[in-house]
Structure 1
Amino acid sequence: MQVRNVMSSEVECCNTQDTLSAVASKMQSLNVGALPVVENENIIGMVTDRDMVVRGLTNGNSGDSVHTVMSSNVVTVSADASLEEAAQLMSQHQVRRLPVVDNGHLVGIVSLGDLAVRNQADHSAGQALSQISQQDLS
C-alpha cells in the first residue's frame, strides 16, 4: 500500500512570517501539534508545538516569526512510497509525522497514527513508534 492511500491530504500550513502566537492559535483551533512551513507550495520547514515552547515562548518571544523556531531539515516522503518506507523514515529520523511531496510540492502529511490504523501497517507502525520513543542512552 502506498502513502497516498493513508495520508491526510487537507493539510493546513503556515509561512515563515507568521508569528508564534498566530501559529499557536491555528494549532489550537485545528487540534494539531505540528504544521508544515511552506513558501510557493514548497515545504521549507516544520514547526511543532514543542518547537514553539522550547525555542520561543519560554524565552518570551511570542511575537517572533516561525522562522526563528522551525526545523528546516525536513524529512519528506513521496506519495508513491510504500507504508514500510514511510515507517522506516520515521524510525530513522525519530519523527512522528512526514510531509508528503509530489514533484517537490506538499500534497499531504502522513503520521504514525495513519500507519497504525491500517492492518497491514500495524507491525511497521509499532516498530517505528518503538524506535522513535527510545531514549538515546549514549
Structure 2
Amino acid sequence: MLKVKDLMTTPVFSLKETDSLHSARSLMELQRIRHIPIVTVDNAFTGLVTHRDVLSATISQLAGLDPETQKEIDAGIPIREIMCTDITSVEVDSPLKEAAQLLLNHKYGCLPVVRKGELTGILTEADFLRLTIKLMDALDKEEG
C-alpha cells in the first residue's frame, strides 16, 4: 500500500510566523509554488499561507502603488497576520488513498505532511498529477 511519504515533496519550502508577506510573495514567485507551510523555530507545523492569502493581503493594483511601495508595505506585514491555522495535515505513514480523498472531498490544494507535529514534506495536487502521468506511461508501455 502506498503511503504519503512515497509521493510527498521533500524538502519543503517553509517560512516562520515572523517572516513577512514580502518573503512569502518572493518565495512563491522564485520557486513557482502556491502553498507555504509555516513553522516554528523548532520546525513544528503551525499554519499555511496560500497564493490566495497573499493576493487577499495585497493592495489592489488599481490603487496605483509602485512596486517599491508595495514591497515596503509587504515587508511590514508578518505572516502570522495572514496565515491560516486551522489546517488539515497528514502523517508521513498515512495511506496515500486517504490523503487523495481528503484533497478531493475538501477541495484542498495541499496537505502539509508531519511526523509527530514536525513538518517533513507537502503533498499537492501536482504530486498526484505526476503520479497519474507515470501510471498512464506504464499503461502505454504495457499496451505498446
- Normalised by the size of structure 2, how large is the TM-score? 0.76
Matched, 1:103 2:116: yes
Contact kept, 8 Å, 1:35 with 1:46, in 2: the verdict is yes
Contact kept, 8 Å, 1:100 with 1:109, in 2: the verdict is yes
Matched, 1:76 2:89: yes
Larger CA Rg, structure 1 vs 2: 2
Q: Secondary structure at the match of 1:44?
A: strand
Distance 2:87 2:115 in 1: 15
Matched with 2:63 is none
Structure 1 counterpart of 2:48, from 46, 49, 61: 46
Gaps of 5+ in 1: 123-138
- Normalised by the size of structure 1, how large is the TM-score? 0.79
Matched with 2:13 is 12
Matched with 2:22 is 21
Structure 2 counterpart of 1:90, from 95, 103, 127: 103
Question: Percent sequence identity over matched residues?
Answer: 28
Q: Secondary structure at the match of 2:8?
A: coil
Gaps of 5+ in 2: 61-69, 136-144
For the aligned residue pairs, the C-alpha RMSD in angstroms reads 2.1
Please tell me the residue identity of whatever aligns with 1:16. E
Q: Displacement of 1:58 after TM fit?
A: 2.5
Contact kept, 8 Å, 1:38 with 1:44, in 2: the verdict is yes
Matched with 2:140 is none
Contact kept, 8 Å, 1:45 with 1:70, in 2: the verdict is yes
